[in-house]
């Protein structure tokens, strides 16, 4: 299923597995474009992004649609690229991650849809 064909008003928690896979591929391509082949690192620690995590229906506070998320992701990636070490601190605090996402232009209110996987 092409990413472009998924309805933008569909909630993230309602994406089917094929829609999640298509969305994952879109984010992966966008991240690769923004990195331009560079490997992000914090000091000597290389950073690898798992862009394929999706909120589940159990995350009731996540009400974002695919369209809202699509608008948010480019700015979110830009902020991580600007300060790669920031992601290490966010990985262990759900509250800090939500605040970081909510503080990203275009991502206001989407923080509850982000979650950490340590």
The mean pLDDT value for 62-66 works out to: 90
Q: Given the structure tokens 């064909």, which residue do they identify?
A: 5
1, 22 contact by CB (below 8 A): yes
Half-sphere exposure of 107 (CA within 13 A, CB side): 21
- Residue 118 confidence class, pLDDT cut points 50, 70, 90: very low
% of the chain with per-residue pLDDT over 90: 33
| Secondary element (H or E) of residue 95 | helix 94-102
91, 115 contact by CB (below 8 A): no
Please provide the average confidence, as pLDDT, over all residues in the chain.
Answer: 85
pTM of the entire structure? 0.82
Question: What is the tens place of the pLDDT at every residue in 68-87?
Answer: 999 999 999 899 889 888 88
Question: What is the tens place of the pLDDT at every residue in 46-63?
Answer: 887 665 666 665 567 888
């Amino acid at each position: 299923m092409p990413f472009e064909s998924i309805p933008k008003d569909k909630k993230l928690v309602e994406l089917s597995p094929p829609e999640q896979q298509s969305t994952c591929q879109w984010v992966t391509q966008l991240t690769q474009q923004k990195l331009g082949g560079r490997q992000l690192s914090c000091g000597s620690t290389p950073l690898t992004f798992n862009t394929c995590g999706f909120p589940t229906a159990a995350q009731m506070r996540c009400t974002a649609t695919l369209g809202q998320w699509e608008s948010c992701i480019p700015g979110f990636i830009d902020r991580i690229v600007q300060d790669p070490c920031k992601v290490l601190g966010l990985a262990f605090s759900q509250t800090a991650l939500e605040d970081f996402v909510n503080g990203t232009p275009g991502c206001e209110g989407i923080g509850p849809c982000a979650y950490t996987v340590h």
